[in-house]
Amino acid sequence: MDRKILLLLGLVFVIILIAVYVQQSSPSGIGQLAYEELAYEEINIGCLPGLIGNHVSFVVRNQDEYDSLLIEYYEKTKEKYKQIWGVITDDELNKGLPFKDCDAKLTPIDFERYTLLSHYAEGSGCTTEFNKDVQINNVNKKVIFTIDVIEHGSCEQLQTYRASILIPKISDDYIVDFRVI
């Protein structure tokens, strides 16, 4: 009888070890087994992310969302300039908007085929590498977009990085998790 109990405890211990290994070796636990690398295409969306805010990561699933990024920036900037310059007409304000150093036109994207992800990271060092990885789990409906920051040297210089990519179209019920490691 004691031998059967020891054998059963040993089996339970092995199962627990396997479960812990799977949990530890995956970003999101047991469901990680369904994650796979997702192909992506880099895209230059100009200085649009800088206009919105460098520290912002975002997902754009359709043309209306894409257009609203520029409109939102324009409205925020309009209010900011009105506060700085006082009450002025919209025509006067429009002439002073800081689009001069930026081509504030949106790069065309086929949102029937693609979803846009834009992710921000920063690091320091004499040189800094930024490596991208995109994983998808179709069972849990989750995309993980990771930027791995590798810093070389002890320089204090701040390095910033923006990665804008197109992935195959994902539906609105997918969650996008942006990570910097």
Task: Based on the fold, state whether residues 159 and 107 are members of the same structural domain.
Answer: yes
Task: Based on the fold, state whether residues 158 and 110 are members of the same structural domain.
Answer: yes
Task: Based on the fold, state whether residues 61 and 129 are members of the same structural domain.
Answer: yes
How many C-beta neighbours within 10 Å does residue 45 have? 18
Query: What is the domain range of residue 63?
Result: 38-180
Confidence of residue 131 (pLDDT cuts 50, 70, 90): very high
DSSP single-letter state for residue 138: T
Task: Based on the fold, state whether residues 19 and 75 are members of the same structural domain.
Answer: no
Task: Based on the fold, state whether residues 153 and 174 are members of the same structural domain.
Answer: yes
Using CB atoms within 10 Å of the CB of residue 70, give its burial: 0 to 12 exposed, 13 to 18 middle, 19+ buried.
middle
Q: Return the percent helix, strand and coil in the chain, to nearest 5.
A: 35, 30, 35
Each residue of 42-61: pLDDT tens digit? Answer: 998 876 665 566 678 899 99
What is the gyration radius of the CA atoms in the chain, in angstroms?
A: 23
Task: Based on the fold, state whether residues 23 and 105 are members of the same structural domain.
Answer: no
**How many structural domains is the chain composed of?**
2
Residue with tokens 């009450």: 87
- pLDDT mean over 127-155: 94
Task: Based on the fold, state whether residues 42 and 16 are members of the same structural domain.
Answer: no
Task: Based on the fold, state whether residues 59 and 109 are members of the same structural domain.
Answer: yes
Task: Based on the fold, state whether residues 78 and 15 are members of the same structural domain.
Answer: no
| Distance from C-alpha of 150 to C-alpha of 3, rounded to nearest angstrom | 52
Task: Based on the fold, state whether residues 135 and 169 are members of the same structural domain.
Answer: yes
Confidence of residue 147 (pLDDT cuts 50, 70, 90): very high
